[in-house]
Each structure stands twice: as structure tokens, then as C-alpha cells.
Amino acid sequence: MGWVLMSEREVHRVEVLSDVVAGRMSTSEAASVLCLSDRQVQRLLITFREDGAVALRHKARGKPSNNRTTEGLRDLALALVREHYADFGPTLAAEKLAERDGVKISRETLRKWMVADGLWLSRSQRRVFHRPRLRRECYGELVQIDGSDHRWFEDRDAPCTLIVAVDDATSAIQEMRFVPSESTFAYFQMLAGYLRSHGKPVAFYSDKHSVFRVAKADARSGHQATQFGRALLELNIEILCANSSQAKGRVERKNRTLQDRLVKEMRLDGVTGMTAGNDWLPGYIQRHNQQFARTPARPDNLHRAVTETPDRLNDILCWRDERYVGQQLTFSYERKRIMLEESEISRGLVGKYVDTYAWPDGRFEVRWKGFSLPYRAFDPDLQRVTHAAITENKRLSEALCFAKKIQDARQAEPVKVGKQRTKYTPTGRKPPGPKGWAEKRGDLLRAKAASHAAE
């Protein structure tokens, strides 16, 4: 007799039933050990005594599965996937095979076939390993910036965004500021604080947010740089965009640390609101850097002094644009109509472009070659945010809060509903034409009543 393949469970059954046959164990004890009923143990004993240990093997061992797929189905499915669904995942490919080709295969079966044939890679096989980047050697050479939207004040105030600037060489927090959302004006405020405290770094390192990067730089119309990029260019500071979040991992990990430590520190100190938080942050930055900042590889400080005057710096850190002046000395700006006051200078600006300056505090100026022009604004009342406005995910919270304020301030106006065509409105007039039987009977009864009254 040759070798017999048996599973561990089947070998265990042979050992227990051998003890029962030898009298060393009762059937009740064997049933308890094997987790079977007494009747099932009796059946196994009969089979074991008649045919031996081989009879305890599973009867389906060595036979093809009853649920096996039909011959050629695997080749057909993989051929269809290669031809039509090469870039599909197993779930979508299985759905389309059943829907379009009438080939019904479970998602998991198709996934195994595709993995074996090299048409699909598992999540672990698709994982990309990022090579670690060494720190910059000098302080002020590269500063990573990012915004983190979080409930920084927990339930004490509404969620907001914390803008963080981290030096790459030392991991020191250079600047932090609470703002409603990531916007150009928010980063202007952060940049102004950074310049006052440290000076000009060599470069900022950010993500691909629209504040820092123009999506289509080669577009026929539009600007080649964002407002923040234009300001950094005038300040002679470089802006670099990371290709992945791992590339600027220091500021990403710093945000994760701050979402834990900073929230609890402000809870202990009772800090509530963005204004109070911004007043409290400098002390926390100093304590944090004393504990976590590292010494750079080289002692050089590459920050440069700010040589621009305050007025010049104010003109740089604002939203600047150009507007075409029409025949009536007017142009459109932010859904408003701006009309220039008539003067010797403004009369010569028809058909030309003027410069507009907008600041975070709401100030607005129109200039021509540096000369400020007086103007009037029409329809300055608050309107809706915009109909079907395209709002980025990072500014969604701020847009919803603004819309809610407008809705609360707007008076409820009655909505005029058009007249329903199916609703009957009595007019009191009789329709023209011959009288019906009901109307004739009514006239007859009224005539009889009148004759009786006359008698």
C-alpha cells in the first residue's frame, strides 16, 4: 500500500477512533474531543472498523470541484479583458463582462485570474516607495508652507485653517496663523508676518494649490503666475511646488503633531477664536522650537533683509489686476460696476487698461501709472455667492458660512406662484348656447311658483 494523503483533522480522528477501538476511550469522550455528536462518532467507528483509516479521508479528495468553471471560460474572460478592459479593475471588469459580454464571473475569481496573468497588481504590489530627501544644510534656504483645516478650537468655536511655515533645515516653526480658509489673502498675511520676523528666505516649498500654481501656464489668456507667485517674484523669493505630499513631509508631519498638541495646549489655556489664537501663537512657537528644533548642518543664515518700504510692501501684498476702461469710463470688478470720475486724466483712459489694487481689509484702489483715480461703485449691495459657483474643497467651509450670513440677513419675500390652469375660477356669467334640461326645469318650477303666488 502506498502513501495516503490526509489532513491534520483526519489524522486526529484516526488517533481518537483508534483509542475507542482499543477501549482506552468511550464514544462519549471521543464525541467531546472531536466536537461531534455520539451518532456521528458511531458512524465513523463503523466505517473505521470495516475499511480502516483510509475510509476517513474526505470523499471529494483528488476529484475536480463541483463548482469549477467550465473549460475555456478563463481563457475567454482574460481575452476579453485584454481586448476591451485592459485598464479596468477586477470589480468593474466583472460588471462589464456580465453586462456587455454575458460572461458572469465573480469579482474575486476574476481578480485571481488577472493577478496570475499579470493584468492586475495588488495594492501592496502597486505601492510606491519614496526615496527620503535629505534636509537642506542652511537655515532659511527652504521653507515648507501648508494649510491644515481642522477643529482647532474643538467645540468652543467653528473650524478654521492653520497656515504653517516650517524651515526645512531645522524643522523649526517659522510662522503660524489661524485663517478662515486657504486663500491668497490668507497667505499674504502669513507672508507679511514672516517677513517682519525673519526676512526673505531663498524659496518656499508648497503643494499644487491654485494659490501657488497656475494650472495651465500656456493658456492664451490669463496670467502666467498667481497673485502669490507675482508677489514672491517682486520680493525676489522663489516658489517651488512639490509633486507629492511625501515630498514636503516635514510640514505634513508638523500639522499632524499640531492637531494633537496644539489643540490640547489651547484647551488648557482657554484660548477660543482665531483672534485670540493668533495672539497666543507666538509664545507657543517659541516653546515648541525650543523643544523640537534641530541644529542645521551649516551655521549660515540665508535669510535676506527686507529692503522694501512699508508702502511698497503694502502694494506688493495685495490682489492686483488690470481692467479695460469702456466708452463710459466704466469697467466691471467682482460683479460691480466701477465708474471713474471724469477728469483730464480719466478722459484719456478710454480703450486703455488701468490697474486695480484690492487689500484683505476691503480697501480698493484704481491706479493709472501709479496715480490713484477717484471712482464710484454701482450695485455694491451683497448678492448671492454666485449661482452654481465652482468652490474648491479647501474653501467650502468659508463659502457656506458666507452664504448663511447672507441668507440670515436677506428678508423673506413672498414667492409669486403662477395661476394654475386646472383650477376653476367662477365668473358668474352663463355660457352662451341653448339651455340644458336642468336649466329648463328650473325655469318651469319658477314659473309655476310665480303663478301660484299671483293667485
Task: Quick: pLDDT tens for 13-24.
Answer: 888 888 888 888
Radius of gyration for the chain, computed over Cα atoms and rounded to the nearest angstrom: 41
Stronger pLDDT, 6 or 276, i.e. the higher one: 276
Rounded to an integer, the average pLDDT of 79-91 is 91
When pLDDT is averaged across residues 364-368 and rounded to a whole number, the result is 91
- Residue 234, pLDDT above cutoff 50: yes
* pLDDT at res. 221: 52
> Regarding predicted confidence, which is higher, 417 or 12?
12
Neighbours of 450 (CB within 10 A): 9
Section 401-427 average pLDDT: 57
Lowest mean pLDDT among 88-92, 145-149, 191-195, 438-442: 438-442
End-to-end CA distance of the chain: 133
Q: Name the residue with higher pLDDT: 47 or 421.
A: 47
User: How would residue 220 be classed by pLDDT, with cut points 50, 70 and 90?
Assistant: low
Identify the DSSP state of 433. Answer: S
Is the pLDDT confidence value at 420 over 60? Answer: no
Higher pLDDT, residue 279 or 413: 279
Residue 336: pLDDT band (50, 70, 90) is confident
Reported pTM: 0.61
Q: Is the pLDDT of residue 211 over 60?
A: yes
Q: Which helix (H) or strand (E) holds 174?
A: strand 173-179
What does the mean pLDDT of the chain come to?
Answer: 84
Contact criterion met (CB below 8 Å) for 257 and 215: no
CB 144 within 8 A of CB 160: no
Percent with pLDDT over 70 in the chain: 86
Residues of the chain above pLDDT 90, percent: 44
